[in-house]
Amino acid sequence: RYRYYQNVCAQSYSFAWWDWARWEREIDWMALSGINLAPAFAGQEAVWQRVYRNLGLNQSEIDKYFTGPAFLAWNRMGNLRRWAGPLPPTWHLKQLYLQYRIVERMRSLGMTTVLPAFAGHVPQGILRVFPRVNATRLGHWSHFDCTYSCIYLLDPEDPMFQVIGTLFLKELIKEFGTDHVYSADTFNEMTPLSSDPAYLSRVSSAVFSSMTGADPKAVWLMQGWLFQHQPDFWQPAQVRALLHGVPLGRMIVLDLFAESKPVYQWTESFYGQPFIWCMLHNFGGNHGLFGTVEAINHGPFAARRFPNSTMVGTGLVPEGIEQNDMVYELMNELGWRQEPLDLPSWVTRYAERRYGAPNAAAASAWRLLLRSVYNCTGVCVNHNRSPLVRRPSLHMDTELWYNATDVYEAWRLLLSAGTELGSSPTFLYDLVDVTRQAAQQLVSDYYLSIRQAFQSHALPELLTAGGVLVYDLLPELDSLLSSHSLFLLGRWLESARAMATSDREAEQYELNARNQVTLWGPSGNILDYANKQLGGLVLDYYTVRWSLFVSVLVESLNSGRPFHQDQFNQAVFQVERGFIYNKKRYPAVPTGDTMEISRKLFLKYYP
């Protein structure tokens, strides 16, 4: 019945700064791909602000609750408050305007929109206005302390739960109409206050009642991430209780990470509630070639054959988009299939469709990528851990799930196809992406040489490997990325500034955008989680870190004083923070010839 698309996190990692023109392209792509169920989450803070004001909160209490634009996804799930905020009034106006157009376009193309609902999280100001309300502070989230997390959760039995939830939804429906599907996540990465099944049933029942209070036809769409994220807490009894707090068939669960950690298998198909088999694939919008093609080619069919299966669709739920197009094309196609595809022949046709012409070298390159980077098996979690995008240390992970030579060979083949396919924009994008992957592998090799030289006190070798990495390989990678508009830091930063209506807003939005892809928090709380390989970022952030690391190791060998990671971390934090506040404007227009730069890198570095 359903082909679902969008992850709540992508609202921040990818869509944060989108204007209508960009949204329109995405919605058209969704229609072309057969997507018929998707969230429409823009503008909800404007409606919440109205509801909070009507309840008697003042503006400063609201400002202490909302995060800045690049972090709203986690504010909506009750993880984070205040960080990088507040939201200017013009933000609300622009987002409302976008939301009107988004829901209108989605519905006109036959899609069912999913609107946000009340999950139970409230600003602290509610306790001032209603001193007798029963609310408890949740614990801290991730590496944030209570300065920016520990949000209040209303007790499901408290009458205000229904009042607030229904008030919000009625206001939202009055504004945008409804297709009767609503999303709410009460315990995303947050441990509930009690594991008593009766309590958990009361929570889900309260959330659902606040939906039906505004719309008797409501269906609750819930992310199933929590069950596999905290399996120690969510034992079968707890899962069943939460799911059975809602009448069967009135909830749809997204089995969010089904390609690696399916939940339907150990919950008897979500104990009778319908579910959508989703491919998560990407975390934080990281670059890096990756896929689990065998798992997605077989997983959805196995889920349909599962005893008493309640599967009602397939879905794409990456945390960030604009990477690994092939995997999403494949997953979209599987939604229409009766049985698994023959992948090598599918990918051969894919290369032809993508470049608009058959080419033997390009097809061979894709078959190599298919069997290597795109075929991670077992439990695969795609966070890019390459030393390139991580804070340097002497204990970095250089493990690969594939044979690195397959990528080098695919790079060679793609380059050889350049004379025929060089005018295809999709070909140039893929050439950048595969060259970037090869460079990422090379960074690991140089890192291992650096570490080996340091550990065996070989100063000349350390200077050579460190020098090549910092003064040639990384700057060359940066110039490659700078040659393509989709790999520019400037595009991300300038789209953030374009949302602003004053210099002050532009500065706030740009700091939001810079912080998200680097420190992710005031002190590197979720450091490099949302790492990207972008022209400008590689040179002024990653390369500067590596440069510092190499010079500290050289200094250590010269002076005979041992290398201390904590001292290095303190020094490198200044570099990382310095990037966020460097005030430099990065170009949003590419420079240089992609083919030429890739060829130059190839001639220098192809192993």
**Positive or negative CA dihedral for 59, 60, 62, 66?**
positive
What tens digit of pLDDT does each residue of 102-114 get?
A: 999 999 999 999 9
Looking at the structure, do residues 91 and 212 belong to the same domain, yes or no? Answer: yes
CA–CA dist 216, 278 (Å, integer) = 28
Mapped onto helix, strand or coil, the DSSP state of residue 188 is coil
Looking at the structure, do residues 592 and 444 belong to the same domain, yes or no? Answer: yes
pLDDT of residue 573: 98
Mean pLDDT of all residues in the chain?
Answer: 97
The number of beta carbons lying within 10 Å of the beta carbon of residue 349 is 12
Token pair in block for residue 102: 């988004």
CA–CA dist 296, 317 (Å, integer) = 13
Mapped onto helix, strand or coil, the DSSP state of residue 211 is helix
pLDDT of residue 189: 87
Residue ranges, the chain, pLDDT below 50: none
pLDDT of residue 190: 87
Given a contact cutoff of 8 angstroms between Cβ atoms, the answer to whether 538 and 435 are in contact is no
Given a contact cutoff of 8 angstroms between Cβ atoms, the answer to whether 319 and 9 are in contact is yes
Which amino acid does the sequence have at 301?
Answer: F
pLDDT of residue 378: 85
**Positive or negative CA dihedral for 238, 241, 246, 247?**
positive
* CATH number where 201 lies: 3.20.20.80
The conformation of residue 585, written as its DSSP 8-state character, comes to P
Token pair in block for residue 492: 């991300």
CA–CA dist 306, 268 (Å, integer) = 9
pLDDT of residue 352: 98
Whether 250 maps to a domain, the answer reads: yes
CA–CA dist 271, 241 (Å, integer) = 10
Q: How many domains does the chain have?
A: 2
pLDDT of residue 160: 97
Give the domain extent around 170: 2-341
Looking at the structure, do residues 103 and 201 belong to the same domain, yes or no? Answer: yes
What tens digit of pLDDT does each residue of 183-195 get?
A: 999 998 889 999 9
Whether 492 maps to a domain, the answer reads: no
Whether 440 maps to a domain, the answer reads: yes
Looking at the structure, do residues 10 and 77 belong to the same domain, yes or no? Answer: yes
Looking at the structure, do residues 333 and 359 belong to the same domain, yes or no? Answer: no
Looking at the structure, do residues 372 and 335 belong to the same domain, yes or no? Answer: no
What tens digit of pLDDT does each residue of 356-396 get?
A: 999 999 999 999 999 999 999 988 888 999 999 999 999 99
Token pair in block for residue 73: 């996804």
Looking at the structure, do residues 441 and 589 belong to the same domain, yes or no? Answer: yes
- Strand ranges in 168-301 using DSSP code E only, listed in sequence order: 181-183, 219-223, 251-255, 275-279
Whether 511 maps to a domain, the answer reads: no
Contacts for 266 with CB less than 8 Å, ≥ 6 apart: 236
* CATH number where 434 lies: 1.20.120.670
Looking at the structure, do residues 322 and 373 belong to the same domain, yes or no? Answer: no
Looking at the structure, do residues 413 and 291 belong to the same domain, yes or no? Answer: no
CA–CA dist 43, 460 (Å, integer) = 58
- In this prediction the pTM is 0.97
449 to 463, 467, 514: CA distances (angstroms): 10, 12, 31
Whether 506 maps to a domain, the answer reads: no
What tens digit of pLDDT does each residue of 576-594 get?
A: 999 999 999 999 999 999 9
Looking at the structure, do residues 321 and 423 belong to the same domain, yes or no? Answer: no
Whether 582 maps to a domain, the answer reads: yes
Whether 56 maps to a domain, the answer reads: yes
Percent of the chain with pLDDT over 90: 98
Given a contact cutoff of 8 angstroms between Cβ atoms, the answer to whether 153 and 102 are in contact is no
Host H or E run for residue 312: strand 311-316
Mapped onto helix, strand or coil, the DSSP state of residue 488 is strand
- At residue 26's C-alpha, the angle toward residues 23 and 29, to 5°, is 150
Looking at the structure, do residues 366 and 287 belong to the same domain, yes or no? Answer: no
Termini Cα distance of the chain:
49
3-state secondary structure 77-140: CCCCCCCCCCCCHHHHHHHHHHHHHHHHHHHHCCCEEEEECCCCEECCHHHHHCCCCCEEECCC
CA–CA dist 418, 354 (Å, integer) = 14
Whether 512 maps to a domain, the answer reads: no
pLDDT of residue 381: 85
Looking at the structure, do residues 311 and 421 belong to the same domain, yes or no? Answer: no
79, exposed or middle or buried, with CB in 10 Å at 0-12, 13-18, 19+?
Answer: buried
